[in-house]
Amino acid sequence: MLTNPFYSQEVQGPFKTFPLGDFVLEEGGTLRGGYLAYATHGKLNKARDNAILIPSWYSGTSKVFEQCYIGKGRALDPARYFIICVNQIGNGVSSSPHNTAGNGGRGNFPHVRIGDDVRAQHKLVTELFGIERLALVMGGSMGAQQTYEWAVRYPDMVARAAPIAGTARNTPHDFLYTQSLMDAITSDPGWQKGWYGDNSEVREGLSRHALLWAVMGFSTEYFRQEEWRKLGFSSVQDFMTNFLEAYFCAMDPNDLLCMAWKWQRGDVSRHTGGDLKKALGRITAKTFVMPIDEDMFFPPRDCSAEQKLIKGSELRLLKSTCGHLVLTGFDQDFLKQVDLHLAELLAMPA
Amino acid sequence: MLTNPFYSQEVQGPFKTFPLGDFVLEEGGTLRGGYLAYATHGKLNKARDNAILIPSWYSGTSKVFEQCYIGKGRALDPARYFIICVNQIGNGVSSSPHNTAGNGGRGNFPHVRIGDDVRAQHKLVTELFGIERLALVMGGSMGAQQTYEWAVRYPDMVARAAPIAGTARNTPHDFLYTQSLMDAITSDPGWQKGWYGDNSEVREGLSRHALLWAVMGFSTEYFRQEEWRKLGFSSVQDFMTNFLEAYFCAMDPNDLLCMAWKWQRGDVSRHTGGDLKKALGRITAKTFVMPIDEDMFFPPRDCSAEQKLIKGSELRLLKSTCGHLVLTGFDQDFLKQVDLHLAELLAMPA
């Protein structure tokens, strides 16, 4: 077990934890004394039908939704909805390699699947809150993977779904990109097969990992137009050092690897023997599929191909030269687009 | 000095060498006893006006043009043209880190600029062949960088220019991508700041470098459609191990780093104090700018923006789901497109 202030209540909170007990994972491991960390906004109504679930993306936590996506008068309005922002397993706030004690933690943390997250979230939603149906499940990137998994695994429980900038079945190209992220970390001799003493020992690997996010996480146009200036940086190097590298170097390498392994294997067709059409055919949620036009690894055409397999779904293209990482909430125009689509989706009977 | 059979006459030849003497480089270093390796096809006519120059791309050599681009009845017809395929400095066949003897070789090989290549090629073309004007300069990727440099530096000598899948001024995004390629190699402890005993000591770094080419060198669609099957591979892993990794692991790491550093800094506006419009305004060659529609790091919009600054130029978009690396010649449909455009360009008065 390691202590990392980045994942503390002070930085990521306020959050609560929900115990999972000894949670058996799809790949055969067991999370002993596992838990989900979550934050809620608003109140669950008496009918228990105003709940929205938002799982987190790679490297993200529940905090970003509080900061950038939820607000009075917005689509995700806590005056109207009971919004549960849940941290995926391995993200550093819920049960993760770095915060798991004993020989089963750190470099030995077991493999986790998107399905494990969704089963754990199902326990949270049903056992703790007694919710039978979610008004909306939504999420970006790996959050979209969990959203799809929810809609396919528990179709009766998902009234509406909004997978943003992510896929139901990870693509082969995306698998390779994720592998390059993992290799950037594991190739650092300081990683020591996961048994480093502190994440700063893997700083070079984490920095290379940050560079790969610069290459694929934004867009060619983002750098051409020097959009990073809007965030207050004076050069690309300044942006790299004090934004992307600073962001990832604060994180735990094993936690990132846990999420990356999971990301690589996101696939709802595991429920239907590899038949994606059949899997997506199970979805009864009113679904808006929302890719980002400049996304380099979840390109609109991949998302659109999946959307066509979902009954009554709509493709809602989000526009941003910032590419995939605009999800992290630094662009107000993008957030407005998301709000408009979500408001429309939430207004639909489902 | 290291021996590497990949760069031998048996594999890359037949090629000849042209001595550069002690060639002073733009960054201040000197290539002592430097040379360019080149291959020619066809005969120079009496008027010396049928010469075509083709500089090489990153990791490529003159051989690929003989194998895939030149042929009887094709646009680059040796029965009609005198075609000079020249190896860029650092590519392993011309003067390069691995084949340079003494303390100035290997890890100490000096920095080389695109402008150095073009000045060296100018010596070859004028001093050895007595050519005053080239009917065409063309090249892909870093070959496009050299093509632009020719057309800006020696406008009177270039009748026609065909920069394919490359830019006149490298983009900031491309700089970052190239940096990730370099980091993949230099992060391997076996690299030893360039003083490894054999390139196999850097095999892990070269493999990570190959993975980044998989991520950016093809396209998301290439993997989605499993286009690698056409090359005889049975899985993505088979394709990685026996195509991309095999390709790059045969190469010298310092040679790749020399080219990557040069690639990062390709910029014709160095001639005009950073004014790209002014630099491209110098071009008098009839120019076809030929991006590849699915290219992930030289996207058509970047190439098109430059094309608009070249008088009388035309944008000729090449279509291929294979992305950037289709340049390497494995797709007949792509080669046919290139042929058609080049034939049209060569038929134009210039």
pLDDT of residue B144: 98
Pairwise CB contact (< 8 Å): A208 & B183: yes
Amino acid in the structure at residue B210: A
pLDDT value at residue B232: 96
Respond yes or no: is residue B302 known to be catalytic.
no
The structure's pTM equals 0.96
Closest by Cα among A35, A316, A299 to A174: A299
**CA count, 13 A, side-chain hemisphere, A81:** 23
**ipTM strictly over 0.85?**
yes
> Looking at the complex, does the CB of residue B227 fall below 8 Å from at least one CB of chain A?
no
**Which residue type is seen at A179?**
Q
Whether residue B220 and residue A297 make contact (CB cut-off 8 A), yes or no, is yes
- B173, A222: Cβ pair inside 8 Å? yes
Q: Burial of B243 by CB count in 10 Å (0-12 exposed, 13-18 middle, 19+ buried)?
A: middle
- Interchain proximity A173–B222, CB inside 8 Å: yes
CA dihedral (A323, A298, A146, A176) positive or negative: negative
Residue B324 among the catalytic residues:
yes
Q: Which two tokens stand for residue A163?
A: 């997978």
Alpha-carbon distance of B273 to B277, in angstroms, equals: 11
pLDDT for position B45 = 98
Which overall architecture, per CATH, does domain A5-170+266-347 show?
3-Layer(aba) Sandwich (3.40)
Return the pLDDT at B182.
98
How high is the mean pLDDT of chain B? 98
Please tell me the predicted confidence (pLDDT) of residue A330.
Answer: 94
Q: How far apart are the first and last CA of chain A?
A: 44
Helix (H, G, I), strand (E, B) or coil at B319: coil
Buried/exposed A281-291: b ≥16 CB within 10 Å, e otherwise: ebbbbbbbbbb
Taking the C-alpha atoms of residue B44 and residue B46, their distance in angstroms, rounded to an integer, is 7
| C-alpha to C-alpha distance for B174 and B268, rounded to whole angstroms | 16
What pLDDT was estimated at residue A27? 98
pLDDT, position B306:
98
Determine how many CB atoms are found less than 10 A away from the CB of residue A350.
Answer: 17
pLDDT value of residue B225: 97
One-letter amino acid for residue B114 of the chain: I
Of all residues in chain B, the one with the smallest CA distance to A236 is B172
B164, β-bridge pairs: B140, B290
Q: Which chain A positions have a beta carbon within 8 Å of B177's beta carbon?
A: 215
Q: How far apart are CA A86 and CA A331, in angstroms?
A: 23
User: Is residue A295 among the annotated active site residues?
Assistant: yes
Q: Sheet containing B82-86: which strands, arranged edge to edge?
A: B16-24, B30-41, B82-86, B51-55, B136-140, B160-164, B286-289, B314-315
Measured distance CA(B260)–CA(B97) in Å, rounded? 13
Furthest C-alpha separation in chain B = 55
pLDDT at position B186: 98
Q: Of the residues B116, B295, B302, B331, which is catalytic?
A: B295
CB contact under 8 A, A220 and B176: no
CA distance B172 to chain A (A): 6
Q: Give the DSSP H or E segment for B346.
A: helix B332-347
**Chain A residues lying within 8 Å of B172, measured CB to CB:** 223-224, 226, 236
* Angle at the Cα of A189 from the Cα atoms of A185 and A191, rounded to 5 degrees: 50
B176 vs A177, A179, A214: nearest CB: A214
- Judging contacts by C-beta atoms under 8 Å, the chain B residues touching residue A174 are 220
Give me the pLDDT at residue B173, please: 98
Catalytic residue among B56, B59, B62, B141: B141
Distance separating alpha carbons of residues A106 and A220, to the nearest angstrom:
36
DSSP state of B34: E
Contact with chain A for residue B221, Cβ under 8 A? yes
- The whole-angstrom separation of Cα A86 and Cα A52 is 11
Pairing of strands B30-41, B82-86: antiparallel
What pLDDT score was predicted for residue A336? 98
Confidence of residue B242 (pLDDT cuts 50, 70, 90): very high
- Please list every residue in chain B whose beta carbon sits closer than 8 Å to the beta carbon of residue A221: 301
The answer to whether A225 contacts chain B (CB < 8 Å) is no
Q: Which residue of A has its CA nearest to B170?
A: A224
Residues of chain A with pLDDT under 70: none
Choose, from B41, B98, B209, B324, the residue flagged as catalytic: B324
- Measured between CB atoms, does A304 come within 8 Å of chain B? no
With a CB cutoff of 8 Å and minimum separation 6, the contacts of B109 are B90, B96, B97, B100, B194, B254, B258
CA distance A167 to B31: 51
* Contact yes or no for A212 and B180 at CB 8 A: yes
In 3D, which of A50, A168, A43, A192 has the Cα closest to residue A114?
A168
**Is B221–A188 a contact, with Cβ atoms under 8 angstroms apart?**
no
Calculate the CA B321 to chain-centre distance. 21
Q: State pLDDT tens for residues B144-166.
A: 999 999 999 999 999 999 999 99
Helix %, strand %, coil % of chain A (to 5): 45, 15, 35
Identify all chain B residues contacting A173, using CB atoms and an 8 Å cutoff: 215, 218-220, 222-224
Cα A151 to Cα A306: distance, rounded to the nearest angstrom: 13
- Cβ-contact B26, B115 below 8 angstroms: yes
Q: Which of A41, A98, A209, A324 is catalytic?
A: A324
How confident is the model over B177-205, as a mean pLDDT?
97
Query: In angstroms, how far is CA B241 from the centroid of its own chain?
Result: 24
